[in-house]
Homo-oligomer: A and B are copies of this chain.
């Protein structure tokens, strides 16, 4: 089965850093990627779709999943639960699909323990000021929520050393090119390709 196994790409970083926009654009350039839909207890934002952006569940259901050990990673982030089901990852990888997770840093660190062969990509803001600006510009959170997110970002940036790649999202097009390059080059790694070489 080994040769049918897909890649696990984990895109992660502080909230407000622009990882969602990068990930969406990435899928336009590399269409044979699969997005890992997370489970969350937070309320849907405008334009968010059930089963496409998230699986929206209530807290009781989320805690039931935790008890049943169904999560590959989960975290309480800014007061909301978020998690990735183990079945989502295992089914896709077994089918040889390249799966992209867009998750917070707490979740990524958990995942690294369970899937050390994953490719962990940290998206960082160019500066603190810019991160704050972006969070304010989003206008979906109150001042308290904003402070929570900034405090959290301090902890998150210290975790960079556990990742494989760092992309500083200063210029969007450059960051996108770097993200694409990581996907393409990881697919060229010898260990992935040796079973397919027939020379």
Interface residues of A in 80-131 (CB under 8 A from B): 122, 124-125, 127-128
Contacts of A181 in B (CB 8 A): 180-185, 188
Chain B residue nearest to A182 in the complex (CB)? B185
Q: Is the CB of B188 within 8 A of A182?
A: yes
User: Number of contact residues on A: which range applies?
Assistant: 20 to 34
User: Does A33 interact with chain B (Cβ within 8 Å)?
Assistant: no
| Distance in Å: Cβ of A83 to nearest Cβ of chain B | 25
- Give bound CA distance, A122 to B188, whole Å: 10
Q: Is the CB of A190 within 8 A of B164?
A: yes
Q: Is the CB of B190 within 8 A of A184?
A: no
Contacts of A128 in B (CB 8 A): 199
From known contacts A166-B190, A188-B182, infer whether A157 and B124 are also in contact, taking CB-CB under 8 Å: no
**Interchain residue pairs A-B with the least CB separation, the first 8:** A181-B184, A181-B181, A185-B185, A181-B185, A182-B185, A165-B188, A166-B193, A157-B199
